[in-house]
């Protein structure tokens, strides 16, 4: 997966910081292997939606800093309003993502888990599912979902619907990249929680250690492969 150095890797983030929480170490590993990495931010905050001007300016600065940190080839901001994706027609969101896919022609796509508690995450996953049908975009080799701490594990399940559960079938050793993942997340200053809360650095480390134990490494990120072309 990381040996060719010729892949175009696209990560979809419903909100800025999802890319780092879900697959920051893996993106850095792709970059070191020579792959080209791209970033799509689906939602934004704006004064029009009632956000404070200072907060909007701060978020724009964070995005610019994260963009430079990872050295993305390019990033796309779709600018749908945050926390309101469930009010956006599915066709509109699907078409917006499809236009990005056509511009990049990605080989590998990382997207959030479809069973996440946040409605924005669910909307993004559903739109990606529609926009990546093989007959529409046959160039895609692999589609992988990532887990987002404080979203993936907080979904309440009724009955035994395994489609709602995040059950990894792929693990990536990020031991050499974990510290840089934490550096990237700290750029989102207001998102860093304290103590034992989900988005604290200690909780992020605990999850990475737990996932790493599955493959006998110090730190790992876990994923679920949804589609892989042989």
Report the distance separating Cα 56 and Cα 46, nearest Å. 6
Q: State the Cα torsion 195-199-205-210 to the nearest 10°.
A: 110
pLDDT tens track for 61-102: 999 999 999 999 999 999 999 999 999 999 999 999 999 999
pTM higher than 0.85, yes or no? yes
Structure tokens at 112: 């959030």
DSSP conformational letter for 189: G
Do the strands 36-44 and 8-13 form a parallel or antiparallel pair, or are they unpaired? parallel
Task: Check whether 3 has a pLDDT greater than 80.
Answer: no
47-57 residue pLDDT tens: 999 999 999 99
Confidence band for 160, pLDDT divided at 50, 70 and 90: low
Which of 93, 2, 75, 88 lies closest to 39 in space, CA to CA?
75
pLDDT tens digits along 93-134: 999 999 999 999 999 999 999 999 999 999 999 999 999 998
């Amino acid at each position: 997966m990381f040996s060719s150095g010729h892949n175009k890797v696209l990560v979809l983030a419903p909100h800025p910081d999802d890319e780092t929480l879900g697959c920051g170490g893996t993106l850095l590993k792709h970059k070191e292997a020579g792959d080209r990495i791209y970033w799509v931010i689906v939602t934004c905050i704006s004064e029009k939606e009632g956000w404070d001007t200072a907060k909007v300016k701060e978020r724009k600065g964070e995005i610019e800093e994260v963009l430079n940190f990872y050295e993305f080839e390019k990033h796309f901001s779709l600018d749908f309003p945050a926390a309101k994706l469930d009010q956006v027609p599915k066709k509109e969101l699907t078409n917006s993502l499809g236009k990005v896919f056509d511009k990049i022609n990605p080989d590998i796509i990382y997207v959030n888990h479809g069973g996440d508690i946040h409605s924005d995450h669910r909307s993004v996953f559903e739109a990606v599912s529609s926009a990546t049908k093989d007959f529409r975009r046959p160039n895609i080799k692999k589609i992988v979902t990532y887990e987002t701490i404080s979203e993936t594990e907080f979904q309440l399940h009724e009955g035994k619907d395994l489609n709602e559960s995040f059950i990894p079938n792929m693990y990536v050793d990020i031991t050499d990249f974990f510290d840089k993942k934490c550096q990237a997340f700290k750029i989102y200053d207001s998102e860093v929680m304290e103590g034992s809360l989900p988005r604290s650095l200690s909780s992020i480390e605990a999850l990475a250690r737990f996932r790493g134990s599955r493959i006998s490494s110090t730190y790992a990120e876990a994923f679920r492969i949804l589609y892989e072309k042989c």
